[in-house]
């Protein structure tokens, strides 16, 4: 007697495909959340490493930070060549200067020497960097984090936490020039995940503008999720967005922490 194999009917195949689609819809959000949680943890470690490296520099230099002298480059994510030298010499790496959750800053290397080639990314990028300290204090890189480190010319005021948009200077917090100027190191934010708001457009997502060097690092769908913060005593913690306020503005863009 000849046996015949029973094949799936079209309806059965469609049912199986539908079940797989439902399972994928259930599992993918959980997988995405797990991936972002991993990236957040890596990011927090990077914030802590940068904070400790800059603190080591200050401790080796009478409490002074590696301040920049640039006139441009006053966004909080602009950091001088001199300061990145300090981070790398004290145990950091170029890789830790970019948040793994920010795809623009992770994938685009042009911003590493932004102040030299900001309008000419296709030319000159292979030339050696300047070596004099005076030049390295003047040129800046665009990286994946924001820094509450002052410049020699001064960045301006940090706004008080409270009602966002009030723009009232915070008498307790200033951009950091030296360790001695700050009384409570455990309360003074120093290295931050970037969280920015562009009025009229909303939150600048990492993938919204190809010509923007920076965006909010950690997003929860269409809104900021929060950010990692490194403090002057060397510890790092995660701050949820609901506990953040507008603390600084540059050309109409608000920085939150």
For residue 32, is pLDDT > 80? no
Q: In whole angstroms, give the CA distance from residue 193 to residue 146.
A: 6
Q: pLDDT > 90: what percent of the chain?
A: 46
- Give me the mean pLDDT over the 109-129 stretch: 70
Cα atoms found within 13 Å of the Cα of residue 134, Cβ hemisphere only: 0
First to last CA, the chain: 78
The closest of 116, 114, 92, 115 to 105, measured between CA atoms, is 114
Q: How confident is the model at residue 6 (pLDDT cuts 50, 70, 90)?
A: low
Name the residue with higher pLDDT: 216 or 111. 216
- Identify the pLDDT of residue 229: 98
Tens digit of each residue's pLDDT (9 = 90 or more) over 132-191: 999 999 999 989 899 999 998 888 889 988 755 567 888 889 999 999 988 889 999 999
Mean predicted lDDT score pLDDT of the chain: 84
For residue 103, is pLDDT > 70? no
Name the residue with higher pLDDT: 170 or 65. 65
Name the residue with higher pLDDT: 255 or 26. 255
For residue 120, is pLDDT > 70? no
Q: Give the DSSP letter of residue 210.
A: T
- Give me the mean pLDDT over the 31-60 stretch: 91
Asked whether 250 and 75 are in contact (CB, 8 A), the reply is yes
Q: In whole angstroms, give the CA distance from residue 46 to residue 144.
A: 10
Tens digit of each residue's pLDDT (9 = 90 or more) over 71-101: 656 789 999 999 999 999 999 999 999 999 8
3-state secondary structure of 7: coil
Q: Give the DSSP letter of residue 130.
A: P
Domain definitions of the chain by residue range: 31-256
- Identify the pLDDT of residue 210: 46
Calculate ∠ Cα 109-104-206, nearest 5°: 160
Asked whether 203 and 197 are in contact (CB, 8 A), the reply is yes
Torsion of CA 85, 69, 144, 97, to 10 degrees: 10
């Amino acid at each position: 007697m000849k046996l015949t194999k029973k094949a799936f009917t079209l309806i059965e195949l469609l049912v199986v495909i539908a079940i797989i689609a439902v399972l994928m819809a259930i599992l993918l959000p959980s997988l995405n959340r797990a991936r972002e949680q991993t990236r957040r943890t890596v990011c927090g470690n990077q914030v802590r490493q940068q904070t400790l490296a800059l603190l080591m520099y200050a401790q080796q230099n009478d409490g002074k930070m590696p301040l920049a002298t640039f006139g441009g480059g006053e966004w909080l994510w602009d950091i001088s060549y001199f300061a990145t030298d300090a981070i790398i010499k004290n145990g950091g790496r170029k890789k830790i200067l970019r948040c793994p959750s920010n795809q623009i800053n992770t994938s685009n290397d042009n911003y590493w020497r932004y102040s030299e080639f900001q309008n000419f990314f296709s030319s000159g990028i292979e030339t050696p960097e300047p070596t004099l300290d005076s030049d390295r204090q003047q040129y800046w890189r665009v990286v994946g984090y924001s820094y509450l480190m002052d410049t020699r010319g001064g960045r301006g005021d940090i706004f008080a936490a409270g009602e966002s948009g009030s723009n009232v200077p915070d008498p307790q917090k200033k951009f950091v020039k030296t360790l001695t100027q700050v009384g409570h190191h455990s309360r003074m934010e120093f290295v931050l995940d970037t969280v920015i708001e562009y009025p009229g457009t909303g939150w600048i997502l990492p993938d919204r503008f190809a010509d923007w060097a920076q965006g909010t690092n950690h997003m929860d769908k269409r809104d900021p999720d929060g950010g990692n913060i490194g403090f002057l005593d060397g510890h790092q913690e995660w701050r949820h967005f609901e506990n953040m306020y507008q603390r600084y503005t540059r050309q109409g863009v608000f920085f939150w922490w």
